[in-house]
Amino acid sequence: MSGSNYPVDLSVKPEVKAFFDPATNTISYVVKDPSSSACAVVDSVMDIDYAAGRITYDHADEIIAHIRDNELELEWLIETHVHADHLSGAPYIQKQLGGKLGIGEKITVIQETFGKIFNEGTEFQRDGSQFDMLFKDGDTYKIGEMTAMVMCTPGHTPACMVHVMGNATFTGDTLFMPDSGSARADFPGGDAATLYDSIQKVLALPDDMRLFMCHDYGQNGREIQWETTVGEEKEHNIHVGGGKSKEEFVKFRTERDAQLAMPKLIIPSLQVNMRAGQLPPSDDTGRTFLKVPINEL
């Protein structure tokens, strides 16, 4: 046990296979239960050429092929949050392999906020019903015989969750690699002080806990990396490591966020991901469109 109130079991060691998407610097994972063929997919990607309005599925197909080749049973598709920089590939994978799609219960807050921004009609449900499971803080669920556990970690967005599966923890955007620090906290519903508190919850896990990032940008030209440990983050994370105070973090994060441009794919990503990765409904000609709200973001 650790300093956190969350039950963890480092003796359970899932196999973690990473899939890096160079177009969006996202890392998706297939996590396999060590004692069965059950697995989960964490944060998959659907490919979009936004300039052309073209959607393809190369990244998701790679994940599907891995699951089929290794004869795994897909039980869960996990979204750590509503991503603003890539489109989720979860519904496409789910259609072919089954499994339940889960996200944090605060998805309803995101749906309310962005339902307004994109002026969605009443047919857009804001109750999270597009997902199979809405997780609360401390919830557990099974991947085969392995118990996975959910930590509510708001700050980057209100619906952010970190998933702990044995000795492997999937941080979403709550933490980046130690030399890259943390994600922005200035999206609607984001908050730097809240993000600091959420990061402390992750850092209260045991030092040997393996941490897997959702993004990496190859800080200062190094190779892309996605795995570290709680101990490494506690000591070396440039934004929160070495005992940095909440005040220092909030000041730094707020100043940095004010200088950041919007992610390139935020407009298509939010419209699709708030619908659990589904495209908006087709119009009466059977064609599908995304909106671009002017001066709203």
Interacting residues with Fe ion (CB under 5 A): 83, 173
As a whole number of angstroms, the distance between CA 120 and CA 111 comes to 10
Q: Indicate the residue among 83 and 234 with the shorter CB distance to Fe ion.
A: 83
Q: Which residue's beta carbon is nearest to the bound Fe ion?
A: 173
As a whole number of angstroms, the distance between CA 63 and CA 94 comes to 11
β-strand pairing of 161-165 with 146-152: antiparallel
Q: Indicate the residue among 43 and 75 with the shorter CB distance to Fe ion.
A: 43
- The region, left, alpha or beta by phi > 0 then psi within -120 to 50, assigned to residue 25 is left
Q: Indicate the residue among 75 and 170 with the shorter CB distance to Fe ion.
A: 170
Q: Min. distance of Cβ 262 from Fe ion in angstroms?
A: 12
Q: Min. distance of Cβ 95 from Fe ion in angstroms?
A: 24
Q: Indicate the residue among 2 and 254 with the shorter CB distance to Fe ion.
A: 254
Q: Indicate the residue among 173 and 216 with the shorter CB distance to Fe ion.
A: 173
DSSP 51: T
**β-sheet bridge partners, residue 76:** 40, 100
Locus of tokens 């079991």? 9
Q: Min. distance of Cβ 68 from Fe ion in angstroms?
A: 29
Question: Crossing angle, helix 246-258 and helix 192-203, to 10 degrees?
Answer: 130
Q: Min. distance of Cβ 106 from Fe ion in angstroms?
A: 14
Q: Min. distance of Cβ 215 from Fe ion in angstroms?
A: 7
